[in-house]
Amino acid sequence: MNTLAEENYLKAIYHLSLNDLNVSTNQIAAALCTKAASVTDMLKKLADKELINYERYQGVTLTAVGEKIALQIIRRHRLWEYFLVEKLNFKWDEVHEMAEELEHISSVELVDRLDKFMDYPKHDPHGDPIPDRDGNFKKHELIPVASLKLNEAGIISGVRDHSPGFLQYLDKQQLIIGKKIKITDIIAYDNSMILQVETIAIHISRDVAKNLLVAI
Ligand SMILES: [Zn+2]
């Protein structure tokens, strides 16, 4: 049994390790908004439990067991987000904080029934893949709208920025998961883009284009 704090560390290390093979104490401290000294204490604990490999000054990697646990937490988080949006009608910008709490309910039976109840969804409301009970999931190749060229099209399938402000902006513009978009103009001056979405044209900034992901 791991504590809530331990689970949050494993999850943070997993997410950080998607970008960097070895995760540093400072990166973890920044991700969890805590001091490097407290991170060091926790890393020692997790290493004693054989959930991470930790050599001072060399960074951290998850052990196979640590990764398995991290994926179960992520599975619970994303299933709860799906449930909150699909069954309780919360908006996609409202569910992350609630899922941060719900993800720590560890009953495997509860999570499996939740999964079955919703007919085994593959992606959460933000387009991120939901691992199955064995921790397997399909990585889908998503690319930012910013890397599409003129006249290229794609289907909105995820976001890089999960902040409520960004999600609310997308909602307002009707740029939501599943919508088909096509690039009809790229403004050379600032690299902003004009998208065709159904019958309307939407002008988006370079920042938005970088944080909105499509499948092509
Ligand atoms: Zn979330």
- Of the listed ranges 73-82, 98-107, 109-118, 135-144, the least confidently predicted one is 135-144
CA of 133 to the centre of ligand 1 (A): 18
CA of 72 to the centre of ligand 1 (A): 14
Q: What is the DSSP string of 148-169?
A: PPTT-EEEEEEES---HHHHHH
CA of 149 to the centre of ligand 1 (A): 30
Contact indicator for 117, 80 with CB cutoff of 8 Å: no
Model confidence pLDDT, tens digit, residues 9-68: 999 999 999 887 789 999 999 999 999 889 999 999 999 999 999 987 788 999 999 999
Contact indicator for 159, 96 with CB cutoff of 8 Å: no
Long-range contacts: 62-68, Cβ < 8 Å, 24+? 62/10, 62/13, 62/14, 62/17, 66/10, 66/13, 67/14, 67/135, 68/135
CA of 84 to the centre of ligand 1 (A): 11
CA of 87 to the centre of ligand 1 (A): 16
CA of 49 to the centre of ligand 1 (A): 27
CA of 151 to the centre of ligand 1 (A): 32
CA of 78 to the centre of ligand 1 (A): 6
Instruction: Give the pLDDT of residue 85.
Output: 97
Mean pLDDT, range 116-141, rounded to an integer = 92
Instruction: Give the pLDDT of residue 1.
Output: 65
Contact indicator for 130, 138 with CB cutoff of 8 Å: no
Instruction: State yes or no: pLDDT of 140 exceeds 80.
Output: no
pTM of the model: 0.85
Mean pLDDT, range 87-96, rounded to an integer = 96
Query: Which CATH class name applies to 143-215?
Result: mainly beta
Instruction: State yes or no: pLDDT of 7 exceeds 90.
Output: yes
Q: Render the burial of 85-123: b for 16+ CB within 10 Å, e for the rest.
A: beeeeeebbbbbebbeebbeeeeeeebeebbeeeeebeb
So where are the chain's domains?
Answer: 4-62, 143-215
CA of 95 to the centre of ligand 1 (A): 7
> Which residues does 165 contact at the CB level (< 8 Å), separation at least 6?
93
Instruction: Give the pLDDT of residue 45.
Output: 94
Instruction: State yes or no: pLDDT of 111 exceeds 90.
Output: yes
CA of 162 to the centre of ligand 1 (A): 7
Domain 4-62 has CATH 3.40.50.1100: no
Give the separation between CA 185 and CA 183, rounded to whole angstroms.
6
